[in-house]
Structure 1
Amino acid sequence: MLKVIYPVIGKERILPFYLTGIGVSSPEYRVKRENGLVSYQILFTKSGEGIFEVDGQKYPQKKGSCFFLPPGQAHEYYPINDDWETYWIVFRGEGLKEFMGRLGFVCGMEIKNVDIDSLMRCFNSIYIAAGDSINGGYRCSNLIYEYILLVYRQFFDRTDESKRLGNITQDAICYIDDNISRDIGLEELAGIGGVSLQHFCRVFKSNMGMRPMEYVARKRIATAKLLLDSTELSITEIAQKTGYSDAGYFGMVFRRFEGMSPTQYRRNGYL
């Protein structure tokens, strides 16, 4: 199976990040690029095994391996068996070299045991947005930034303590994502991490830059926007699917974040 989208690049070139390609290769095949790519690439392994070769060095890849490549980096990769499944994106952007350099992404590098679930969620969002030939480029730009930061934390923020604290936050986020249609309380989220309410709130805000319930509200609205854009569900149905039993209250929260009602958002075609 080969699922690939290469967006038509037009006005997106003015954006700080824009997608040039995204795909799932299952199985992955042999690729050799003596001059590298003109885009940045992030590739992670969902299953199976393969080999990356960069600068004469071989890097075995298996489930949870992630590889970063900057433009112009000669490389080759190939499967060890017939079931190497990879997920990859390639992207460019004005000033991206300086930005990536500040983060430490200056040469080909790999990391093992990445959080596949978090990468998959963001990857799938980018893939869906890439399928929208009208407005998808703008949403992809936001999501690529999010994806880069996810990968950055996997590569450079790996101390035992940061992983422990990150796991408390990540477990809560996964729970929120999986239960966005139902009522979610702070005590419930703290209980998932097995920590006190005060400690959970402090750790979550430190990691995410916002309080837990603000994240819940933002996640609900982000989900609602996707449903408004991609389905014909009524406002009441969307409210229920995003955890609001009262459509009027849902509309009030939506307006607070977006500056317009859900109906106006749908009518204007914002993404």
Structure 2
Amino acid sequence: MADVYKQSFKQNYTHNIELSIFNCGLERCAPGQTWGPGIRDHYLIHLVVSGKGVFEVGGRTYEVVPGDLFFARPNQLIRYTADEAQPWEYSWVGFNGACANKLAAQLPFTDAAPVHHTQDLEGMRAALSSIYSSRGLQPQDEAAMVGYLYLFIAALMRETSESRPHSTSSSSQYVLNAIKYIQFNYSHDISIDDVAKSVGVSRSHLYRVFMLNVGKSPIDYLTEYRVNEACKLLRSGTLSIAEVAASVGFLDQFYFSRVFKRAKGVPPSKYMTSQADADVQPAPDET
């Protein structure tokens, strides 16, 4: 085996709240090289392309070989170790975001089976390589990386549908429709009752399926979405705070400011100033 190496990219700030890449890369490990036990704050998928090793999660140990993908959820205690005689080479991507939990539920991984063997090793490897090749610190780079991540996830979803053809639940469809409604109507004075009515369920049922599929309540999702859309408008610097508030569905500018500060830790006026200051700083070199 050739010398060990590691090529990786870490994203420290993301613009895309729906689905964001935290890190990605490829690595040929040293014999016995291990990570953990520890936890991550994001979803993490590794694809083994050669060699072998073991993946430990939930008190169980899984032997992993070429063509296997192993999957970790946020805050799961995990450890993975390269084989002493045939240490593995793998590619990986780490991601999270408002839609990540819903997407992860449609992947071919479960708590009882966190390892999946793909029938298209080269296709999966190319998809992960495209994510890494698109790396960069600019918004357009992140957009390209997330686009390739969606294609990678879509490929995994196809393999899921082949093994579990009826895996898509009605609850996830309710959530998907509710999210679409929010994304198209957040700028209006909508309530969670409006969202629930749009998808044909009760407010309490919508709450339950959101907690199951997204990990947060509908009102928290709506508020977070509005605040992040407001951040985009504040960064542009072309609108007043009152205009931004109205544009993201807040009729009361002062209530908007309180909600924004609770979410971001600073009032919108200070956020706008900090973004203006950041724009005049030289861009950091990529490492």
TM-score by length of 1: 0.52
Equivalent runs, 1:210-221 vs 2, <5 Å: none
Q: Which residue is 2:187 aligned to?
A: none
State the distance in 2 between where 1:114 and 1:67 align. 14
Q: Tell me the secondary structure at the aligned position of residue 134 of structure 2.
A: helix
Q: Which residue is 1:18 aligned to?
A: 20
Change (3 A) 1:3 1:103: closer
Q: Which of the two has greater helix per residue? A: 1
Unaligned runs of 5+ in 2: 165-287
State the distance in 1 between where 2:103 and 2:93 align. 18
Residue 25 of structure 1 aligns to which amino acid in structure 2? E
Q: Which residue is 1:129 aligned to?
A: 134
Cα deviation code 1:151-175 (max 9, x no counterpart): 233345248xxxxxxxxxxxxxxxx
- In the TM superposition, structure 1's runs of 4+ consecutive aligned residues that sit over 3 Å from their partners are 102-108, 131-134
Change (3 A) 1:69 1:156: farther
8 Å CA contact 1:66, 1:114 repeated in 2 = no
Cα deviation code 1:163-217 (max 9, x no counterpart): xxxxxxxxxxxxxxxxxxxxxxxxxxxxxxxxxxxxxxxxxxxxxxxxxxxxxxx
- Structural RMSD (CA): 2.2
Cα deviation code 1:91-114 (max 9, x no counterpart): 011132233235565536111244
Q: Which residue is 2:54 aligned to?
A: 51
Q: Tell me the secondary structure at the aligned position of residue 154 of structure 1.
A: helix
Change (3 A) 1:134 1:99: closer
Equivalent runs, 1:1-271 vs 2, <5 Å: 1-12=5-16, 14=17, 16-27=18-29, 29-34=33-38, 36-81=39-84, 83-103=87-107, 105=109, 107=111, 109-131=114-136, 133-158=138-163
8 Å CA contact 2:135, 2:145 repeated in 1 = yes
Aligned residues: 156
8 Å CA contact 2:107, 2:153 repeated in 1 = no
TM-score by length of 2: 0.50
Identity %: 21
State the distance in 2 between where 1:61 and 1:104 align. 16
8 Å CA contact 1:3, 1:24 repeated in 2 = yes
State the distance in 2 between where 1:27 and 1:102 align. 30
Unaligned runs of 5+ in 1: 160-271
